[in-house]
Every structure is written in C-alpha cells, then in structure tokens.
Amino acid sequence: TRIQQVESKVRAFLTLDEENARQAAAKLEEQFASSNERGPLFGLPIGIKDNMVTEGLKTTCASKILSNFTPIYDATVVSKLKDAQTVTIGKLNMDEFAMGGSNENSAFHPSHNPWNTDYVPGGSSGGSAAAVAAGEVYFALGSDTGGSIRQPAAYCGIVGLKPTYGLVSRYGLVAFASSLDQIGPLTKNVEDSAYLLQAIAGYDPKDSTSAKVDIPDYLSALTGDIKGLRIGVPKEYMGNGIDPAVKEKVLEALKVFEGLGAVWEEVTLPHSEYAVATYYLLASSEASSNLARFDGVRYGVRSDNTRNLLDLYHMSRSEGFGPEVKRRIMLGTYALSSGYYDAYYLKAQQVRTLIKQDFDQVFEKFDIIIGPTAPTPAFKIGEQSSDPLTMYLNDIMTIPVSLAGIPAISVPCGFVNELPVGLQVIGKALDEATLLRVAHAFE
Ligand code: GLN
C-alpha cells in the first residue's frame, strides 16, 4: 500500500489500525450494499489527529503521560465521520498536547515534510497534513488553537480549514485552550474540505460552546463566481518579518483574484503586533488549568515507587510531560496567580477584544481578508527547536484569527525553494460558505 511505501520516511502515524480498518470497510460494504444508500464519503480512509478520542483506539496526544490511554468512547467528530461512512485507519502525529508548530514536540518522533523530508511538516497537526500530502489517507482531521491546521497545511501544500469557534463540536477533543480550540479538515482540495466540514459541523448538546446554528449546504457555495468580491489585505501581514518570496506569491495570488473580477485594497489590523503575546498568555493559562487533570491517577501513566500521594502527582507529571508542555504550564500558572492575574491574564483578555474589533472594522467594508498563512515556507528539522520564541513568531498571521474566533482556510499558492506556500483566506464568523467559495475560485 501507499502507507507501506512512504510511512518509513514521513512517519505521520502514531497508531496505525490497518486490520481493523479493513474489517470496518468490509462491514460498510455489506451494510450499504446498494449504491443509493452510500453517501459521498463512503469508504474513504481518514486519519485523525491523536488528540481526538477514539473508542478502542489509543489516543496519546503525542505525550508520554497518555502513552497507554485507550478511550472508551468516540469524540463527536469521530462518530459523525462513522455516520458519514468513512473508515478511520489511524491516529496521526502532533506536537505534544498540540503545543508547537513543527511536530518536533511529539514525545515519540517527529514527522517529516513529504516535499522534502529534511523539513518539518509544520504543526501541531503536522502528522495530519503530512499524511494527506503524502497520500497515506484520503483526508484527515486536525485541531487549530493558534494555527495548527492552517500552518501545517501551508507547509505541506494542502488545504486546511479552521472553522468558526463553536461550529464543530469539541466533545472528545483533549482540551488545550478551550476558548480557542477548534477541529477542522485537512484535504487535498477545497471541494473535499467542504464535504468534510459538512460531515462534522453542527450543534452538539455535549459541548457547551457549540453554536446553535443551521448548517448551510457548503457544496452549493462552490460556484466559482467571485465577481465584485471586496478583499482586504492587512498591511501588518505583508510588512516586516515576512519572507519577500512569500510576499511575492501572495501578490501573484491577488492578481489571480483581480482576474476573477474581485477588487482588493490594503487594510489595517492595528493590534496585530500584540497578538502573539496575548495568545501565549491566554493559551498557556487555559492549558495550565486543562492539564491539571493529568495527575497519574485518572488518566495515563503513573510513576512507580512514589512515597505518598503528593509525590505520585509530582513524579507522574514530571516524568509524563515534555519540556514545551511544562514551559506552558509554568507560564500559565504564573499568569493566573493572584497578584499577576490583573497584569497579565486580564490585560490579555482586554487586548483580545481589541484584536477582534480590528477584524469587525475591516469586515464592515470588505467581504474577505487575504494574506499569507505563515511568514516563511517550512524550515529544517532542528533549525528552530532550541528557540521557543522564534518558533512562536511563526504563528503571527494565524493567531489573530484564532483570538477573534473567526474562520480561515489555507490554500496552496505556489512554491518557494521547492517548498509549498499557503494563502490564508479569512472570513466573517459563521460564513464558511463565502470562505470556501473564494478559496475554491482561486484554487
Ligand atoms: N503553534 C501554536 C502553539 O504552539 C499553535 C498551536 C495550535 O494551534 N494547536 O500554541
């Protein structure tokens, strides 16, 4: 199979479940014997990022602390995909607890970029992006807290969609930063993205942040017609810090949009420069709270030979979490501690509102915002892993969107040094239909 051919080089999987997948496929074949019972996704093999729980299938979040954890239920998205007649063939690599942008924070092994295996596939949904790009699965699910679907999609030359916060149920997604986390599709093209979103979107009473909205028909939005579309291009995304070759690709893409009858203008998102700091404070604060449940008692690995209960907590967490996770727990605990709460956490919440208002203002006059997904193409494995701050700056164009809770899609827009570049199309809240229409027209 394709997986046997390439997996030793790409290393996208943490758990591969080929035998069970074959059985599930055979069952589907029987159950939906006549073709008119078969939906559009019938029999398609899908990979799931390893932070979504799968009944009977190991779910590790790429962390040692969950290396022995086999869930007893399916995440809502996983059961929805079963209802949509897809076949789950395995769990995909990621940065530990989705903290990172290169897959190098996986406690087990890094994944590799299929375009050049010396390079990272991006992260944290790097295994998902690599598996799709390498043709190991037909499509995959990822999660995006600050860019983790869009950035790996860009680095691997595929399509990655982060839906509006609340559109897709997070029930069964291991929480990183609950006010930001969102699940979405990684696919080879925009049409597949629309199909997959259709299958997973919708209200779920099991997720208190799930939006009670009607789900439109995303496929019928793909008309190819974007005449008169008004595009805003944030000057903050096209200035300092962006690789000039990437900027060139975005400008070429804007020419394509002009050719399709759209118009574009430079706009400003004035609080963009605070987004990275705001995000790392808020996301780490939420993570420090969410990850408190991993105590060696309720889930996963328990340290041996501990002297008392406190020691058990302490040792299990010290041994179970990797360095980046510990860094975030410490930062988050600090930001939430009394005496610092007002100066850091509360301040960050206020700045978050300003960042959201930047987008609201642009969307008063424009239908869509376009810019790069990431400031550079993929980097080499090992190149940035010793410097967390450099790593954090890769998220500079994806994080503002996450803080605002709005949807964005990354579509391929050419190559720089034989590595793919992603174009980010950002839309209004719950307007995935326009987002998909625009991305599809461009593709
Ligand atoms: N790279 C960002 C981080 O490390 C984004 C992660 C994500 O979206 N899960 O937090």
- 148 flagged as catalytic: yes
Whole-angstrom CA distances from 409 to 160, 181, 379, 423, 432 are 6, 15, 21, 8, 9
Which pLDDT belongs to residue 421?
A: 98
Q: Does 99 sit in the ligand 1 pocket, CB within 6 Å?
A: yes
Encoded tokens for 274: 């605070």
Q: Does 399 sit in the ligand 1 pocket, CB within 6 Å?
A: no
**Which ligand 1 atom minimizes the distance to the CA of 99?**
4
Q: Work out the percent of the chain whose per-residue pLDDT is above 90.
A: 96
Cα(307) to ligand 1 centroid in Å equals 36
Which pLDDT belongs to residue 38?
A: 96
Which pLDDT belongs to residue 24?
A: 95
CA dist., res. 179 & res. 350, Å (int): 14
CA dist., res. 100 & res. 392, Å (int): 8
Q: Does 250 sit in the ligand 1 pocket, CB within 6 Å?
A: no
Catalytic-labelled residue, pool 63, 106, 124, 128: 124
Which pLDDT belongs to residue 65?
A: 98
CA dist., res. 161 & res. 438, Å (int): 13
By the 8 A CB rule, do 111 and 10 touch?
A: yes
By the 8 A CB rule, do 155 and 129 touch?
A: yes
Which pLDDT belongs to residue 389?
A: 84
Query: Which residue's alpha carbon is at the smallest distance from atom 5 of ligand 1?
Result: 146
21-56 pLDDT, tens digit per residue, is: 999 999 999 999 998 999 999 999 999 999 999 999
- 49 flagged as catalytic: yes
**Which ligand 1 atom minimizes the distance to the CA of 280?**
10
Is 90 exceeded by the pLDDT of residue 351? yes
Q: Does 146 sit in the ligand 1 pocket, CB within 6 Å?
A: yes
Q: Say which range, 262-266, 347-351, 385-389, has the weakest mean pLDDT.
A: 385-389
Residue in 94, 72, 89 with CA at minimum distance from that of residue 172: 72
Catalytic-labelled residue, pool 63, 111, 128, 148: 148
Q: Tell me the pLDDT band of 390, cut-offs 50, 70 and 90.
A: confident
95-135 pLDDT, tens digit per residue, is: 999 999 999 999 999 999 999 999 999 999 999 999 999 99
Q: Tell me the pLDDT band of 15, cut-offs 50, 70 and 90.
A: very high
ipTM: 0.98
Q: Does 125 sit in the ligand 1 pocket, CB within 6 Å?
A: no
Which pLDDT belongs to residue 37?
A: 94
231-241 pLDDT, tens digit per residue, is: 999 999 999 88
